[in-house]
Amino acid sequence: MLYYLFKYLEEQFQFPGASLFGFITFRAAIAFLLSLGISTVYGKRIIKFLQRQQVGETVRDLGLEGQSEKAGTPTMGGVIIIMATLIPVFLLSQLDNIYVVLLIVTTIWMGLIGFTDDYIKVFKKDKDGLKGKFKVLGQVGLGAIVGGATMFFHPGITIKEEVTDPIVAQEIMERTELPVAFGEAIQSTKTTIPFLKNNEFEYTSLIDWIDPTLHLGHG
């Protein structure tokens, strides 16, 4: 929200300092400080509030030493993390960015699963909480939306691949003044796997037995 406000002030009134909000590094630094402030200032208050409301952890009797010490520990404390994450995002990010949208959806979705689990434990007095199969179903459903549908079909999710043709690469490097030449941004079903030398993985290789040309048109 602040991003759009200061963008408007800059475009319409050349408001001093408003252009700073156009730099992602500046907004990231402000978001970090804001998140730290929210968790520090309001975190303790939320924990005390939960303690006053007797929203505490129930412990299954497993016969373990010291397990009773956890009884009464405030649960639903994840709301602190959610607040410290989403408030800076809503205030300082570009909300039309697909990656920001995915962050918001994922945080809220997983937060609801955690809230449901804690609600069942605390208010329904069921120590098991949300059934494991429902937790898995919720996470798999989220993965299908994020990884399967959104990242495959949304035109804003693209990659730039390194140009291998030396002549074309040289022209691009001279034009961009960069040490590496990349092509145009295209949609792709490729991803990278950390810590591996040949780390490009093509998702459609898992389902090319259905249609070998599925990857065409997406990079």
Q: Is residue 195 in some structural domain?
A: no
Average pLDDT, the chain: 80
Q: Is residue 211 in some structural domain?
A: no
CA distance 101 to 92: 13
- The amino acid that residue 201 corresponds to is F
Distances (CA, A) of 90 to 136, 152, 158, 168: 28, 25, 23, 41
Residue 29 has a pLDDT of 93
Residue (of 83, 99, 77) closest to 24 by Cα position = 99
| Count of domains for the chain | 1
Residue 215 has a pLDDT of 55
Q: Is residue 130 in some structural domain?
A: yes
Residue with tokens 């140009």: 163
Average pLDDT over residues 127-133: 83
Higher pLDDT, 188 or 132: 132
Average pLDDT over residues 135-157: 84
Residue 73 has a pLDDT of 56
* Highest mean pLDDT pick, 104-118, 135-149, 170-184: 104-118
Q: Is residue 213 in some structural domain?
A: no
CA distance 142 to 204: 19
User: Picking from 8-22, 88-102, 131-145, 188-202, which range would have the lowest pLDDT averaged per residue?
Assistant: 188-202
Q: Summarize pLDDT for 22-65 with one digit per residue, the tens.
A: 888 999 999 999 999 998 888 888 877 777 765 555 555 545 55
Q: Summarize pLDDT for 161-200 with one digit per residue, the tens.
A: 888 888 888 888 888 888 888 888 888 777 777 787 777 7
Q: Is residue 164 in some structural domain?
A: no
Percent of the chain with pLDDT over 70: 82
Q: Is residue 194 in some structural domain?
A: no
Full residue range of the structural domain in which residue 97 is found: 2-155
Average pLDDT over residues 83-92: 93
Q: Is residue 210 in some structural domain?
A: no
Q: Is residue 170 in some structural domain?
A: no
